[in-house]
Amino acid sequence: MDTITRWNEAEGITWATEADRFDRISEAQLEPLFTTSALRRGSCVLDVGCGAGATTLAAAWTCGPEGSATGVDVSAPLLAVARWRAEELANVSFVEADASRDDLGSARYDVVISRSAVMLFDDPAAGLAHVRAAMRPGGRLAFTVWSEAARNGWSSIPAAVIARHLPQPIAASPPPRSPGAFALADPEVVRAAVRIAGFEDVRVEPLDHGAHVGDDVDDALAFFDRVAGRGLRTVAPPHVVDQIAADLRDRLAEHLTPAGVVVPASAWLASAVQPD
């Protein structure tokens, strides 16, 4: 199943339903993303892979009524949430399109941002080159992509627990660097893609932070069950599913803080400039 189909069917519906939770997982990326992109009042900004619109709305507040924020995404379910969230904002718009290949206009945007989306491009270098054509001379690009899975507890913790009880993988591993959460986990691959796309002053910096996955252990466990439980129950008998849940509860409890269950997370923050 191709990426656009997945994000308009079960996966997109799940993310739309859990939009607030997924936003919290990468919430800590917003401030460094905006700072690095030099987003400011009056900016005309494009948010690539905007999902449910949290980044776009935050950008709209930052650039103010003198500026504008446009979010683009392939997922109709997520864009429905984004448009609902943006009902009271006049300087926000959303477009259902593939930012890596569909028409974005020419030399329209001062700033392009993206949170956890560029790694879903079929060809990151070609996709970024396409995006670059929509930027004004001197415009700034800033985006985040996840680092390796082992440094991201929202993925590695449940994966390790499942592997302990189900030695055989429950799904085939995707080909290396195919679109997915960790397709751009190598910072040199990120840097090369941005340079090949034609940007200048390319920088890739680590961005480590905590990821909030639940208000308490029960809440976090219920979240993981809603996201992955149905698929797990198709390949494991009930007693194994129960053992996985018990072990996962113990692992999540290790990360309980006064702010909730907060697991380690790690991303790369890439930035660059559109040549004059």
User: Residue 250 falls within a domain, yes or no?
Assistant: no
User: Residue 140 falls within a domain, yes or no?
Assistant: yes
| pLDDT of amino acid 223 | 97
pLDDT over 80 (residue 167): no
For the chain, the average pLDDT equals 95
User: Residue 154 falls within a domain, yes or no?
Assistant: no
Total domain count, the chain: 1
The CATH number that applies at residue 35 is 3.40.50.150
Residue of 135, 145, 129 whose CA lies nearest to 179:
145
- Domain carrying residue 99: 3-148+176-212+263-273
Span 157-175, average pLDDT: 80
User: Residue 225 falls within a domain, yes or no?
Assistant: no
User: Residue 138 falls within a domain, yes or no?
Assistant: yes
Strand segments (E) across the chain? 44-48, 68-73, 92-96, 109-115, 135-146, 200-214, 256-257, 260-273
User: Residue 27 falls within a domain, yes or no?
Assistant: yes
State which amino acid sits at residue 246: A
User: Residue 107 falls within a domain, yes or no?
Assistant: yes
pLDDT over 90 (residue 94): yes
User: Which stretches within 115-216 are classed as H helix?
Assistant: 124-132, 153-165, 187-196
Span 237-243, average pLDDT: 95
User: Residue 241 falls within a domain, yes or no?
Assistant: no
